[in-house]
Amino acid sequence: MKLVPLVSILAAVATTAVLGVSVASAHPVPGQRQNQFGHVEMPEHYTFDTSAQGPPRLIDVLAKEKSATIAMDAIMQSESLVRAISGDSTGFKNGLTLLLPTNEAFRQAGPTPENLELVMQRHFIPQVVSLKSMASGVTVASYEDAAVLRFWSEDGVVNVQADSREKAQVSGAGVQAGTGTYFLVNQLFT
């Protein structure tokens, strides 16, 4: 009988930890909101599989990328792209490399393109492309052959160009998850 209360307490602590609520203060983590009943509100369109085992899926890691929320909203509008970052797409049997445009890249691009799904397909590569390969000058096709992506290194900075569009800089060493890798880029391939 004494185990039941202990199990209940442990379950409550685990639940509050998963929801990002502090047991001591019952306040949300920065960036989260509470509704009128004190419950933490999560964005409706980003879900996390808390029962998953193994490495996190790319979709779960991307949902935490604060500098690319506009790109995530665009990706979430396309069933095929959501399937790709969820690891549930036959079009990405050889892996996935995502060149994720930052919020600033969207702002610089101006009004949202009408062909947003096609624009985002240019940022998806249906194979693994390492930073080393990018720096050495590899050329690859994007998802559904939406663009030919040419990489090169210049003054220690890795760049990419989609067809004849403006070049973008690739930031960081890449963030890897169970279903792919993403790199931030400072241009939208419109």
CB atoms < 10 A from the CB of 131, how many?
Answer: 17
Q: What is the residue-level pLDDT of the chain in tens, covering all 190 positions?
A: 444 444 333 334 333 333 333 333 333 333 434 333 333 333 444 444 556 567 789 999 999 999 999 999 999 999 999 999 999 999 999 999 999 999 999 999 999 999 999 999 999 999 999 999 999 999 999 999 999 999 999 999 999 999 999 999 999 999 999 879 999 999 999 9
* Residue 183 · residue 97 · CB < 8 Å: yes
pTM of the model: 0.73
For residue 25, what are the β-bridge partners? none
